[in-house]
Amino acid sequence: MFRVTQKDVNTRARRGVLETSHGEVETPLFMPVATQATVKAMRPEQVRDLGFEMVLCNAYHLWLRPGLEVIESAGGIHSFMGWDGPVLTDSGGFQVLSLGKDVKISDEGARFRSHLDGTSVFLSPELSMQVQGRLGADVAMTFDECLPYPIDHQTAEGSLALNRDWAKRCRDSHNAGGQALFGIIQGGTFADLRALSAKLTVELDFPGYGLGGLSVGEPRELTLELVERTLEHVPEEAPRYLMGVGDPAGIAQAVALGVDMFDSVLPTRIARNGSAMVGAGRLNLKNACYTGDDGPLDPDCECYTCRGFSRSYIRHLVMAREILGLHLLTVHNLHQISALISRIRSAIAEGRLKELLVELRDVGVGP
């Protein structure tokens, strides 16, 4: 399912190929988030044309709306959303934490109130596997308890046994042919618990592993330290997926530590808020200083937006709440991530990732 094709000589970075039911994808890779079976403000072919081969959908959201029957009747998630490439589904553990109301966690699963209409909902490891199997994703994730930040050591330690039990139940009940199931490593922000969680999860022998519960408010330096310490206990032959990280600095630094896969709502979310990614910083087009600025968002960017439209025009669209403004910013932000991934892949192949990290730091990307 996964093979490493090249390694960087000066870091732990590597290039690889992930095989799925809907084709092979190169790593390192970034998955734009299509929570509701759409990358917001983008058509599927536009996402593909920007260089992305795989997207992430959320099982929790699609289970509640439009419902599994609707998606199954359309032929599965790929046909439903008009995307012919691989799809990974997140199990819903994070959404239970972030969106669920009156959440009650037990050994059996999670009971909470739907963020849509307040009705009582119960989600178990077995049901999560059933949902993701019926959606037809290429890669499913185990159902896990995602901890908030900050959390105390005792609480985080108590969660490990639950997550291990849930992961085993997911593995044992997973029977979707052609679908890979990745385990998720938790442990809060404690290196010893991360190591233990990795050991317990790896013992269950999943074909890939997600690093969950990070980038939830902790300092960046701590995130990277925990990634490095955790990966010491994850097999090199398995793909490593750092869940929820999508800023340029975080991606580049985590690749150097040996991470292969990323996802984040960051590029599309800040676009909807009127901001463009430029280097390590952001341009907030709502600021009045861009009212008469005829320059592109980024003079060094070759995306459709920067080739054809000015900061002044995009600010006008944002302030007028025109949909085109959000689309143009989304195109730019996703292009920035895609171009970064391309540079990282080339640097690994040429054995110069460390030099690229220095270049990125010099232009404000990284510490």
Contact 67, 79 (CB under 8 A): no
Q: Which residues are catalytically annotated?
A: 90, 263
DSSP structural state of residue 322: -
- Can you tell me the distance from the alpha carbon of 3 to that of 15, in angstroms, rounded to the nearest whole number? 9
Q: What is the pLDDT of residue 168?
A: 98
Q: What is the pLDDT of residue 367?
A: 45
Q: What is the pLDDT of residue 363?
A: 64
Burial (CB count <10 Å: 0-12, 13-18, 19+), residue 175:
exposed
Structure tokens at 83: 């995307």
- Can you tell me the distance from the alpha carbon of 113 to that of 119, in angstroms, rounded to the nearest whole number? 5
Question: Where are the domains positioned within the chain?
Answer: 2-264, 266-359
- Can you tell me the distance from the alpha carbon of 85 to that of 321, in angstroms, rounded to the nearest whole number? 32
Q: What is the pLDDT of residue 317?
A: 98
Any idea what the Cα angle at residue 272 is, between residues 270 and 275, rounded to 5°? 45
| SS3 state of residue 126 | helix
- Can you tell me the distance from the alpha carbon of 204 to that of 167, in angstroms, rounded to the nearest whole number? 8
- Can you tell me the distance from the alpha carbon of 33 to that of 261, in angstroms, rounded to the nearest whole number? 13
Q: What is the pLDDT of residue 3?
A: 98
Q: What is the pLDDT of residue 165?
A: 98
93-113 pLDDT, tens digit per residue, is: 888 767 777 889 999 999 988
Could you tell me the mean pLDDT of each successive run of 10 residues in the chain, 367 residues long?
Answer: 96 98 98 98 98 97 97 98 98 80 90 90 96 98 93 95 97 97 97 98 98 93 97 98 94 97 98 94 96 97 98 98 98 98 97 93 62
Any idea what the Cα angle at residue 357 is, between residues 354 and 359, rounded to 5°? 115
DSSP structural state of residue 33: B
- Can you tell me the distance from the alpha carbon of 123 to that of 111, in angstroms, rounded to the nearest whole number? 6
- Can you tell me the distance from the alpha carbon of 12 to that of 25, in angstroms, rounded to the nearest whole number? 20
- Residue length, the chain? 367
Candidate CATH numbers 3.20.20.105, 3.90.1170.50, 3.40.50.300, 3.60.10.10; the one for domain 2-264: 3.20.20.105
Q: What is the DSSP string of 88-124?
A: EEE-SHHHHHHT-EEEEE-SS-EEEE-TTT--EEEE-
- Can you tell me the distance from the alpha carbon of 364 to that of 358, in angstroms, rounded to the nearest whole number? 10
Neighbours of 227 (CB within 10 A): 22
H helix or E strand, kind and range, residue 222:
helix 220-231
Q: What is the pLDDT of residue 364?
A: 60
